[in-house]
Structure formats: structure tokens, C-alpha cells
Structure 1
């Protein structure tokens, strides 16, 4: 699968190639900050298949956490495109940045539901996890 996308103003563009490793919605408090309050819809895509085709992102990593993630975003319009987590061979690709968001097909599970707000909607049959799902 090849996915393309970019930021709101168009200065950052990317290509993500490979098969999604996870399609989910995240309810963690950190994602709520990034989205403005909603769960974050994302796909895990292989890191080696991800590249920027134009522009360079600004990065942000919190210095006060033991294993902080690095968020990559457009310095001009502020669009958050991906997150890189230490030790994860994938990028957390934000669905709203896809040129064709319908290719996402919808989340298959909900994670970090321990931080879920009452107004967050999780489909009835969707598997839910208070944190991350167990590794296989």
C-alpha cells in the first residue's frame, strides 16, 4: 500500500509505503491535547517506508518524560503529521493528513481508554484496551 499526504498549508508532503501494522483510535490524554479533545485516529506504518517528499518537519520531544515520543509537525500551519516512539519500528501516522483519508477504512481497536472522556464514541463491537494491547 502507498499512502500520500501532507500538512494543511501544503509545505510538508510525505509518502508512506507498506502494510499498516495497526489501525486504531487513541484516547490518551496526550492525544487529546494534539487533537483538541477528540480521540486520535492513526495507523502504524513501517518506519522504513515513510519519507518526506517535500519540506522538513519541526520536531517536539518533552524533556521531562522517561521515554518521550517525538512529534513531527509543520512549523508554519501546525499540522501534526506523525509521532515516533522510541524502539517502535513504525511511525504513528495521523489519518487527517492523508490525501485520501477513506483509505484508512476505520479504526480496528481503541487504546488508552483509561483516559477516555464521556463524549468520546467507541463503536460497541470494537476491542478496547485501557493501555496498549498485549504484544503477540
Structure 2
């Protein structure tokens, strides 16, 4: 799979290539902050096939958490583009930043322990309170 995308204002652009490691909706409380309240739609792509092609994002990592993720976003318009988790060889890309969001085909809902009543998990989609066991 090859994905190209970028932020709302167009300043930061990226491309990612490889076999998706996960295509999901995440309902965790942390993602709700980033999305404005809804689940986070994402595709985890291999880090080796990911690169920024125009400009560089700003990064934020919470200092008060062990194993905190690093969130990458446009310094101009604030669009959240990617998340990188310690020890995970992936770029977790936000589907809304894809040039063609129709490429997204969610396979699973994760962290439903934090799911809000107004979040929708499609009928028949596997759902997990945390991460699925491999």
C-alpha cells in the first residue's frame, strides 16, 4: 500500500509505503483529545517506508508519562498527522490526512474501555477493551 497525505494548510506532506500493520479506530481517552471527541481513525504503516516530503512537523511528548507517545502535527495549522510509540516500528497515520481517505478499511476497534456512548463501532467489527492479543 502507498499513501500520500498532509495537513490542512498543505505545509507538511508525507508519504508511506508498505504493508499496513493495523487499520483501526481507537476509542482511548487520549485519542478523544486529539480528535475533538470521536474515535481516532488510523493506519499503522512501517516506519521504514514513512517520510516527510514537505516541511517538518512539530512534535509533542508528555513528560509525566512513562512510555508516552510522540504526536506530530503541523506547526502552522495544527493538523495532527502521525503518532510514534516507543518500541513500535510504525508511523500511526491519521486517516483524515490521507489524500485519498477511501484507502482506509478499518479492521478493528481498540480501547473500547474508553468508548463514549455516541461512538459507533460497525456491526461485526472485532472490538477490544485494550489492544488485541497477537
1:87 is aligned to 87
Distance in structure 1 (CA, Å) of the matches to 2:115 and 2:80: 21
Distance in structure 2 (CA, Å) of the matches to 1:3 and 1:111: 22
* SS of alignment partner, residue 96 of structure 1: helix
1:9 aligned to 2:9? yes
**Deviation of residue 109 (structure 1)?**
0.4
**Deviation of residue 19 (structure 1)?**
1.2
> Normalising to structure 2: TM-score of the pair?
0.98
1:71 aligned to 2:75? no
Superposed CA offset, 1:8-59 (max 9, x none) = 0000000001011111000000000000000000001000100000101000
**Deviation of residue 2 (structure 1)?**
1.3
1:119 is aligned to 118
> Normalising to structure 1: TM-score of the pair?
0.97
Distance in structure 2 (CA, Å) of the matches to 1:51 and 1:18: 12
Aligned length: 134
Q: Which runs of 5+ in 2 are unaligned?
A: none
Over the residues paired in the alignment, what is the CA RMSD in angstroms?
Answer: 0.6
| Dislocated runs of 4+, deviation >4 Å | none
Distance in structure 1 (CA, Å) of the matches to 2:11 and 2:67: 30
Q: Which runs of 5+ in 1 are unaligned?
A: none
Superposed CA offset, 1:55-114 (max 9, x none) = 01000000000110000000110000000000001111100000000011x311000000
